[in-house]
Structure 1
Amino acid sequence: MSSPTGAVSRPGKPARRDQLGAIAAGLFARDGYHNVSVQDIAAAAGLSGPALYRHFRGKQAVLAHVLLAGLDEAKLTLDGCTGSDAGEELAQAYAQLAAVVVAWPEFGMLWRRERRHLAQDDASEVRKRAVRIGTPLIRALQNQRPELGPAEASLLTWGALSVLGSISDHRVRLPRAAFEKLLTAIALNTLATDLTAASTPRHSPASAPSLLDARREQLLAVSARLFRDRGFHAVTMEHIGAAAGMAGPSVYTHFAGKVDLLQTAANRIRERLRQNVTAAQAAGLPASDTLDLLVISYVDTVLDYRDLVAAYFAEGHNLPERDRTELRRFQQAFATYWAEVTGAAAPTPDPREVKVRVHAAFAVVNDLAQTGQFSSRPALASELRALMHAVLTRA
């Protein structure tokens, strides 16, 4: 069994560092890394701030401990997988990993959203250990599907891992055994995807802004990229101005501040997603065709607005409370509509399964579109559409 921190379990009471890591992980996942202080972690653990420093040198070290412990446990589970062939080995490996993430669902959020806050040495070590997990999975997939090149096998493998991590994006829960079985099945479906299956051309990107809006659009794009790379709290108006080639105070001519920029980015993506739903509804097509339209428009939106989408999903917790509430309400309604269409196109007895699949499909596209090694693939849009269909509709 796993401890709440994702650390490898040991007989007896968990180590104090693991207990503190579990508390910190919950706070980081709920409030965001920069919104949690050492004092917050200590208080939640019933300690004074200085007492926590006896276990960790600071907040970055706590985050590193949590991520490294989770990766270590994942690696340990993979080391114990010994199938009679590549297919059995993969099935066993993803079943074991599914058990890990179901036991500790926050890990996916911390991996996606918070690892950029690690100290350089810790970030390097986290990357190394992640590669140690991915490499044997990629190799096993190539053994099972020898027609795949290394890049294609890597794309499918990291897509399958995104399926597992997607449970941190929602609160839909099934009984533990059923949840692990479903996640394993979706991950294996992802690995079986025919990457040439979707050939519909991409929609044209949105038209360029007028010259009157060009500076405002530039600042929005620059700020979204900085928020994605550094996190909202690590970016100043001076950083934004410098990246846009202007003095920091001049940014205030176009935006009231960082919050205004984040609100604008979130509103831009929300409106684009709303338009996608409206267009799909207005088409009046059968459920399977409507799902096709939704998949095409979602992939195009993520690829056309990668930085804005990253800010929309990763930094929403930094919006004012009213905006956070509105954002959550829209995201729930958006996912619900997708689940309704998916359920009609590919009926299943348990509507919760459909919701899990929908969130997994979103995670696969969002994660792979943001991963540098895949972002320049010429057929990425087609491949992401094929992956979404595999996650949503495969039995």
Structure 2
Amino acid sequence: MTQLDPAAPLERPTQRSQAKADRRAALLEAAAGLFAERGFNGVSIEDLGAAVGVSGPAVYRHFASKQAVLEALLVGVSERLLAGGESVERTAVDADAALQSLIGFHIDFALGEPDTIRVQDRDLDSLTDSARRQVRRLQRRYVEVWMRELGALHPRLADDELRVRVQGTFGLLNSTPYTARVGTHQVASDAVRPVLERMAWAALTAP
């Protein structure tokens, strides 16, 4: 068997493979917007294709079904949140810094992907049982990252209270797609962010 040289540069993606990856990413972004607007059941494969300028059948080159699109969207975001949370946990100098970084990381997500939050709120039950269980497992692990850092900062808090504080903070931050709008006016993210940072910190560390 040929041994790979660990010092050798990684093979760059071909133009074709990069184009395929870009189209897949575009389909997921379009799906988030369409599912958020109409609900999973209100969107067809043809709608997804049209949103990125391809035919409905062309979507099947990237996803086996509309169900697979939803799974890639919701499992994918749960994987990214967990990976980001674990990265913060590994690199933060102490629990105080870790918690502040976790808040900032989650605010980036909430402000950057409001459609995904809306899809998860409404369409999680449209996943297959196995995909829904996978999302729940990933979410529990993400919560546990926050609990560890909050527990290190406040070691007297019981696990149940740590969990309630973290889940309550997620409820606050994940409400952004709904609360960052006043009537027809969308509040600028640079105005929303500092408010969310203060409120999240207060919720997590309240006496």
Equivalents in 2 of 1:224, 1:272: separation in Å? 15
Match of 1:57 in 2: none
One-letter code aligned to 1:328: R
Equivalents in 2 of 1:321, 1:341: separation in Å? 31
Match of 1:222 in 2: 30
Shift of 1:363: 1.0
Q: Percent identity?
A: 30
One-letter code aligned to 1:286: D
TM-score (norm 1): 0.44
Shift of 1:347: 4.3
One-letter code aligned to 1:394: A
Distance 1:349 1:284, change over 3 A: closer
One-letter code aligned to 1:237: I
| Larger RCO, structures 1/2 (Cα 8 Å, 6+ apart) | 2
- 1:358-373 correspondence to structure 2 within 5 Å: 358-371=166-179, 372-373=181-182
Equivalents in 2 of 1:297, 1:314: separation in Å? 23
Match of 1:342 in 2: 150
Q: 1:290 aligns with which of 98, 104, 113?
A: 98
Match of 1:164 in 2: none
Deviations 1:230-275 (A, max 9, x none): 2212221122223333332222222222111111112321221122
Distance 1:293 1:258, change over 3 A: same
Q: For this pair of structures, how many residues does the alignment match?
A: 186
1:315 and 2:127 are equivalent in the alignment: no
Q: Point out where structure 2 has 5 or more consecutive residues left out of the alignment.
A: 1-17
Distance 1:338 1:327, change over 3 A: same
Match of 1:382 in 2: 194
One-letter code aligned to 2:141: A
One-letter code aligned to 1:393: T
Shift of 1:308: 2.6
Equivalents in 1 of 2:81, 2:139: separation in Å? 10
Equivalents in 1 of 2:78, 2:152: separation in Å? 24
Equivalents in 2 of 1:292, 1:359: separation in Å? 16
Equivalents in 2 of 1:286, 1:238: separation in Å? 50
Q: 1:239 aligns with which of 47, 52, 55?
A: 47
Deviations 1:333-374 (A, max 9, x none): 211221221122234444322211111111111112344335
Distance 1:375 1:275, change over 3 A: farther
Match of 1:43 in 2: none
Q: CA RMSD for the aligned pairs? A: 2.1
Match of 1:49 in 2: none
Match of 1:140 in 2: none
Shift of 1:214: 2.5
Distance 1:375 1:235, change over 3 A: farther
- 1:1-395 correspondence to structure 2 within 5 Å: 211-371=19-179, 372-373=181-182, 374-395=186-207
